[in-house]
């Protein structure tokens, strides 16, 4: 029997006035002689890296039991629904003196940064993976954050420049990648697309037009040629884009109408940390779904962050709370922040799990590292780092494992293992001494 469905190229775009919207993976992108159930398409790997500062309350982070079927700790409990796609690694360390600046600068490369005014570190694994799997996408990698302290000058402990704390991604030893804070900027980069001039984007924003309004004709033409399953998948994808655009527009309107003077706050950044974080995660998920990028990194918060979390009952800044001095009340506040961050991560994983991708979903085909370059924020130590890897890595990674390695094992040993899973084998990275068995 011959299948008659229309075949679309994977890199098909919906085009309109000042817009070019990438499409999610549709059945119609499989060659007409191929059915999903008969000849599964090789899944595309995606990789992601999420950084949180100031370490964790390790007794409440560390799972109970090693290997499979471990018991989730209080802090990691929100990840339990994803047990089969979660690997927890404990015991790894950054082998360097204590301090904030090296926490995120070494996290993805294992390279001790230069002292003084010189800015030098090492290429990070997100960029190594992007060079392998990201060159066929519009953006080889995507870098995002929620906080910016780039105005800080001088050293931030141990004679390390504060600039090290503004990113977790390094293109090469002397070129740190900037992390974008503004969801509007990320949105326009991802979906403003080919041929969109600054004037066209400004006009659309002033006229309160959705980016999707400019591609309506293309959507209608394409939908007529798709089967019901693909039409539903396309509709859900476009509705998600429209909803994110609506949320960004709301934030911009609120910023413009506010009587407060905040010249350093770009328009489009929600007042709420949770709204901001969810927007960034949603943009990330769309970028993966549309194959706009296959590699993303996200600083959910920054070292030395003084952000407060009154929504969970923590009115003091994160950094001061991390220096708990072993006071039970302060330890509890830090544990609440840790659990809250994990909860937002879990919501992102659920979004990936609900997003179809070929014969599976985006979580099946992703490998996402979540953790911190600090272990005990109270004393700025870097041993026993909190680390979780989520996702199936396109069939290359299992789950339901707690890997407990010997204390002070270089964290870069874990990075070497992740590089291997991404098809970028390497014998050494930074201060690595081997490769963990994932």
For 395-415, what is each residue's pLDDT tens digit? 999 999 999 999 999 999 999
C-alpha pair distances (Å), 276 with each of 39, 97, 359: 41, 33, 31
User: What separation, in Å, do the N-terminal and C-terminal C-alpha atoms of the chain show?
Assistant: 43
Quote the mean pLDDT of the chain. 84
Beta strand spans in 196-345 (E): 295-299
Provide the 8-state DSSP code for 394. Answer: G
Fill in the DSSP letter of residue 268.
Answer: T
Identify which has the larger pLDDT, 267 or 74: 74
Tell whether the model's pLDDT for residue 7 goes beyond 60. no
Residue 267 has pLDDT above 70, yes or no: no
Q: Which of 27-41, 123-137, 325-339 bottoms out in mean pLDDT, i.e. has the lowest?
A: 27-41
**Residue that the structure tokens 């002033």 belong to:** 206
Domain with CATH 3.40.720 in the chain: 43-181+290-438
Question: At a CB cut-off of 8 Å and minimum separation 6, what does 2 contact?
Answer: 32, 33
Mean pLDDT of 426-435: 96
Instruction: Output the pTM of the full model.
Output: 0.84
Concatenate the DSSP letters of all residues of 97-130 into one string. -S-SHHHHHTTTT--PPPPTT-------HHHHHH
Q: Is the pLDDT of residue 186 over 60?
A: yes
Residue 296, SS3 per DSSP:
strand
Is the pLDDT higher at 129 or at 192? Answer: 129
Q: Which of 152-161, 250-259, 382-391 has the highest mean pLDDT?
A: 382-391
pLDDT at 20: 61
Which residues, other chains included, contact 284 with Cβ-Cβ below 8 Å and sequence gap of 6+? 48, 142, 144, 296, 298, 348
Query: From CA 434, how far away is CA 438, in angstroms rounded?
Result: 13
Assigned architecture for domain 43-181+290-438: 3-Layer(aba) Sandwich (3.40)
Q: Is the dihedral of CA 215, 218, 222, 224 positive or negative?
A: positive
Count the neighbouring beta carbons within 10 Å of the beta carbon of residue 159.
Answer: 13
* Cα–Cα dist 302/366, whole Å: 24
In the chain, % helix, strand, coil (3-state, to 5) comes to: 35, 15, 45
Where does 19-63 show beta strands of DSSP type E?
Answer: 19-22, 46-51
pLDDT, mean of residues 309-322: 96
The model's confidence at residue 256, banded by pLDDT at 50, 70 and 90, is low
Taking alpha carbons only, the member of 266, 232, 174, 190 closest to residue 355 is 232
Is 218's pLDDT higher than 80?
no
Q: How far apart are CA 73 and CA 193, in angstroms?
A: 43
């Amino acid at each position: 029997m011959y299948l008659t469905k229309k075949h679309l190229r994977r890199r098909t775009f919906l085009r309109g006035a000042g817009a070019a919207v990438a499409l999610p993976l549709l059945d119609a992108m499989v060659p007409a002689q191929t059915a999903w159930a008969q000849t599964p398409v090789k899944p595309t790997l995606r990789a992601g890296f999420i950084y949180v500062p100031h370490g964790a309350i390790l007794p409440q982070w560390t799972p109970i039991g090693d290997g499979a079927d471990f018991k989730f700790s209080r802090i990691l409990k929100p990840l339990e629904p994803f047990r089969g796609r979660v690997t927890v690694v404990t015991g790894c360390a950054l082998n360097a003196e204590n301090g904030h600046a090296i926490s995120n600068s070494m996290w993805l490369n294992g390279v001790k940064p230069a002292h003084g005014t010189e800015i030098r570190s090492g290429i990070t694994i997100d960029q190594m993976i992007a060079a392998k799997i990201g060159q066929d996408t519009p953006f080889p990698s995507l870098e995002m954050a929620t906080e910016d302290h780039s105005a800080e000058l001088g050293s931030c402990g141990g004679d390390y420049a504060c600039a090290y704390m503004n990113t977790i991604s390094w293109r090469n030893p002397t070129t740190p990648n900037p992390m974008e804070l503004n969801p509007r900027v990320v949105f326009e980069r991802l979906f403003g697309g080919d041929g969109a001039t600054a004037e066209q984007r400004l006009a659309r924003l002033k006229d309160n037009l959705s980016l999707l309004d400019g591609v309506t004709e293309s959507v209608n033409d394409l939908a007529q040629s798709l089967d019901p399953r693909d039409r539903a998948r396309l509709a859900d994808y476009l509705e998600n884009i429209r909803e994110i655009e609506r949320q960004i527009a709301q934030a911009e309107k609120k910023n413009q109408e506010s009587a407060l003077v905040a010249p350093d706050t770009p328009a489009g950044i929600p007042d709420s940390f949770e709204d901001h974080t969810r927007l960034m995660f949603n943009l990330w998920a769309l970028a993966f779904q549309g194959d706009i990028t296959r590699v993303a990194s996200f600083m959910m918060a920054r070292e030395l962050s003084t952000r407060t979390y009154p929504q969970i009952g923590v009115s003091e800044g994160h950094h001061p709370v991390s220096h708990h001095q072993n006071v039970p009340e302060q330890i509890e506040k830090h544990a609440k922040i840790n659990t809250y961050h994990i909860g937002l991560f879990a919501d992102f994983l659920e979004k990936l799990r609900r997003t179809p991708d070929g014969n599976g979903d985006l979580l099946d085909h992703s490998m996402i590292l979540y953790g911190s370059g600090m272990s005990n924020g109270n004393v700025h130590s870097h041993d026993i780092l909190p680390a979780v890897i989520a996702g199936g890595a396109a069939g290359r990674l299992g789950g339901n494992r707690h890997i407990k390695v010997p204390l002070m094992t270089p964290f870069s040993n874990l990075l070497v293992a992740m590089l291997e899973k991404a098809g970028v084998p390497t014998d050494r990275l930074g201060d690595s001494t081997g490769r963990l068995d994932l």
